Every structure is written in C-alpha cells, then in structure tokens.
Chains A and B, each alone.
Chain A
C-alpha cells in the first residue's frame, strides 16, 4: 500500500480527523511506534503520534530515555518537516485548528443559547473590581479580610482547642495514668510534656487552617482570586513572582504555616517554590511577643519603632532575596507565564467550600503530626535527662538537664552576635519548635522559680460540659471580633508587671554576654528571630508543599542568613559606635 492510501487505516472508535496529509503521517508514526515494542506497551500509539507531532516537551524527554526513542524522534522530525512544507504553518497549530474545527461544528449542531449570557453580569462586576482606580483598594480590602480571618477571627477557637487539650484532656490522661499507678513517673511526664504538647502543637493550628481554607475557597470558587492576580501581577512580577503570590505573603504576617499552604493557589512550580521560600520572612504573629519583650527592655522610648523596623526589614529581605534568587538559582527554570482565564463569577456552594476546608485541613494534620511529635519528644528527652546536680530522669531542674548542656555547646557559635549564653541559645532552640515559646523559655531559664498550676478536681461530665460551653463562648468571641476586621490593636499586652523580673534578668544577661553592648545584642537577637526558621510546623508545611530538598534549603539558608544579618547588626553597630 502506498503511504497516502494508509491514512485513516489505524483508527478505531471515535477520533478527530486531522486532515489527509496529517493522518498519513500519524499512521506512518504509528507503524514506527509499533516496531518499538517497549514504547508501544507504554503509550497508545495514535495518541503518542499526535503528541509527538505537536512537539510535546514532556513526551519528548521521556522518549529520549527509552530504547529506540531517538530513532522514533528522528522519524517525527521528518514528518514535521514534511507537513510544514505542505501546510506552510506549524504542525501544532494545524492540529489545534482541526480540533477546534470539529468542536465548532459540534457546538453549532448541539448548543442553543436562549438565556442572557452570564458573561454580561460578570462583566458589570469586573468593571468595578478591576477598575483603574478602585481595583487596588478593593483588592487590599479583600486581602485584609482574609488576613483577619486567619488571625483575630480564628483566635478564640485556637484558645479553645488549647484550653481543651491542656485542661480536660491532660487531666483525663493523668487520671488514667494514676489508675495504672504511673502518677508522678516519667511516663506521666512523657505523656504530658512530650506527647500531648506535640499533638496540641498540631491541633491548635486546625482552627487557623479551617479559616484560611474557608477564605481561600470563597476567593477561588467565586472567581475573585483570578481578578486579584490580574490586579496585582504587575507589581509582583517585578519581584519575579506572580500576581497570586501576594496572598500567601500577606497571610504570612499572621502565621507562616497557612501562608505556605496558600502557595498552593499558584500553578507554576517556580512561582510556588519562590513564594514559599520568601513567605517565612513576613514576620508572623508569634514573633511579635519577642520583639515587644526586647523592645520594652532595651528601647523603652521607641519600642514600637523597633517593632515596625523589624517588620520592614523582613519585607526588604524578601524583596532582595526574591530578585537575587530569580537571577541565580531560578535563572534556568522555565519562566512563568501569566496565561489565566478570568472565569465568570459564581456563588460558591456550601458543599464545595466544606469539601475544600475538610480535605485540606485533614491533609495538614496527617502530614504535620509526625515531624512535630518527633521534635517535641526529642526536646522532652533532652529536658528530662539530668547531667548535673542530683535530679533524676524526668525530675530535674532545666539548668541541670542535657538541654542546658547542649545549648551551652551551641552558645560559642553565637558569641560574635553578642549573645553567647546558654539561656539565649535555649530560647532560640525552643524557638525553632515554635516562636510562641521563646518568651516562656526565657522565663523558665532566666528565673528559677516555676509556676505550678494546680488544677481543681473536676468530674468527667463537668469537663465535657465545660468543653461545650467554652466552644459556644469561643463562637461568641469570634462573632464579637468580627468588627475587628477593620481595626488593629497590636499592643494590648497587659502583662508587663509579671515580666519585670524576667526583663531585669534578660537585660543583665545580654549586657554581660555582649560586653556592655546589650542594646545592640538585643537588636541582633531580634533580627536572628526574624530571619531563622519560623517553627517546626512551618518546616512540616515546607516539606509537604515544596518538597524535602527545598525544605532543607530553607532551613539551612535561613539559619545562615540569620547568623550573618545578626553579625552585621552587632559588629557593625560596635564599629559605628552605636549602643
């Protein structure tokens, strides 16, 4: 049979007619494919032939690794050259043309338009939402609402989860262990200070994640997310990012963990990874108490200026790093394209929103708990192991524990930064697990007395009642905090009186370790806290969203950068004669 007679001979079932000339080449390639049995067994031959004629990059790469792949690719090149000579156009365009020809015919036969187009309604909304002057203010308001939802609005539920875990659940487990005769033993300590602390560390994030995913689902399902990207793309593109990168960055000021998960809305891998790497530099809410503590101790006149400066430093670091990474590590990555459909607006369905919230939140819990449980148990063991003094396992002062000894070993590394005490390095090590505990660790290591909370005895049913009423209370608090969406109050910490002892201890500790440059050392410490890994949960999120390689890149890179920047602040400050 001559080649032009073979066209259409290998089709079975439904297929689109790509025109006689193209069909001839498709059959020719199919025959070529059939000859290479190892290739034929992996791909449907007609599909593969079409993909190759279209010049599909992924298919080409995977073929190159197969036996007989390069022969096949050579045959493809011949076919493409032949077809381009006949049609005078690119083969992929010809194939797309025929597909659309078929689709247009089908639409003409089968589709009847008799309702007013939804596009016109959408268009009216877009006229306002993407308006030249109104577009950006509307975008900023929408982002502010999302930010507030993941912070203030979710806070009462976060407190509720925290209360339930550290209250009733801890009590129940202690009672059960008591029945088994294990009260006061190391097993009890392992459960309470290790396991429950770890589980709690994951579960307190659940309300935050639920609210984040609620906000994301509404933004995505309604169609606004595409408009937000459209409005912001110019600005973000200058930093080598995508319009959609703005949202994760903003959420990062509340909490890095949901911010990392919000990078999922970015389709391009390069955009997603770069955004994920920069998100931790947006100073999260948990770092604020550290700034406030040190700001109040060393810069009482200008504490809020210091806090603001740190937030700004984080943003500037992210901008510079974004530009540098784009020009170096990401230079050869495929440039991202914007190409995005602006879908018609639609009302999100409750079912769809609930599905998104549940699917994504439960995946977070499943993935995050292992890494966090492991760290909190390791930390517990270090704190429970006595190396000095006469304490026994799980009953020793933290100063005499392996934890203190280990941190004493780390301290010299921090000497050039002005804070080479085991107290300071302890705070940074626990800060690696969660920034929330930096201040409480300092309270623990700088002052000797421990505050033992004596829980009053309650029955099981009282506990359950309390859980339910406190949940209702949290819902009430959330509703009450809804107006907070349009207000900020960062400085409502009213616990300064309690901290005075701690403040004095921290001040003398930092003055001593820095040789009298306490203010500079504290500044270096705050910069270190701003730049290094936000927390263990963020690491788990990085692993899930960016992969293990980028997780390590982020951990090591941030530690190195934190050290370097703190070094510049402390040593540079001394050189310039500041403080």
Chain B
C-alpha cells in the first residue's frame, strides 16, 4: 500500500512508488534522483512543523508538506 511521503514519521523510510508532482519542479525532482524504487528517509521536521528534511541518495533534501504529499511511497519497516 503506498502512502503520501508526508505521512511518514521522523526516522521512517519509504521506497518511492509514484511521482504525482506536477509543474516545473517535477523535472527538478526527477533530476535530483526522486525516481521509482529509491529509498527515502524522513530525517527531521523544521521547528515550526514544516518543511521536512529527507535523506535520499545520501544527501539532504527538504520539501514542504504539501510537496511531499505529491510523492507516494511504500513504507518500510
């Protein structure tokens, strides 16, 4: 069952299943390696609750919650 990436909690990981992200940033995210099958870890949440910092391919990427909700992942244990 895939869930929106924004639903994962800090410390949880997921495997990217689908990119629903539209607009100009979609190309950018694809180029940054957010492709199907890639593992993504929720690293930390900003002090005010948004954005969220993720780790993917060994680097840190932060996204707003609304942006993260456009990416579907398979949660990993």
Q: Which residues of A contact B (CB under 8 A)?
A: 54-57, 89-90, 92-93, 95-97, 100, 117, 119, 122, 126, 130-133, 135-136, 226, 230-235, 237, 243, 334-335, 337-343
Contact = CB atoms under 8 A, between A and B. Distances in A.
A126 B44 contact: yes
A339 B61 contact: yes
Given A92-B30, A231-B46, A57 B51 contact: no
A contacts with B: majority SS: helix
Given A100-B38, A132-B47, 13 more contacts: A54-B27, A57-B24, A89-B36, A92-B30, A93-B30, A96-B35, A230-B53, A231-B48, A234-B51, A338-B62, A340-B62, A342-B62, A343-B60
Given A235-B48, A337-B25, A93 B35 contact: yes
A136 B32 CA distance: 28
Given A57-B24, A90-B19, A93-B35, A131 B47 contact: yes
The 9 closest A-B pairs by CB, nearest first: A234-B48, A342-B60, A96-B30, A135-B47, A337-B25, A338-B64, A234-B50, A96-B35, A97-B35
B77 interface: no
Interface string B20-38: 0001111111111101111
A107 to B, nearest CB: 10
Nearest to A96: B30
A341 B51 contact: no
Contacts of B29: 339
B59 A341 contact: yes
B74 interface: no
A230 B27 contact: no
A119 B58 contact: yes
Contacts of A119: 58-60
A340 B25 contact: no
25 contacts: A90-B19, A93-B30, A96-B30, A96-B33, A100-B33, A119-B58, A130-B47, A130-B53, A131-B47, A135-B46, A135-B47, A234-B50, A234-B51, A235-B48, A237-B50, A335-B23, A337-B23, A337-B25, A337-B67, A338-B63, A338-B64, A338-B67, A340-B61, A342-B62, A343-B59
Given A334-B24, A337-B23, A230 B31 contact: no
B47 A133 contact: yes
A339 B67 contact: yes
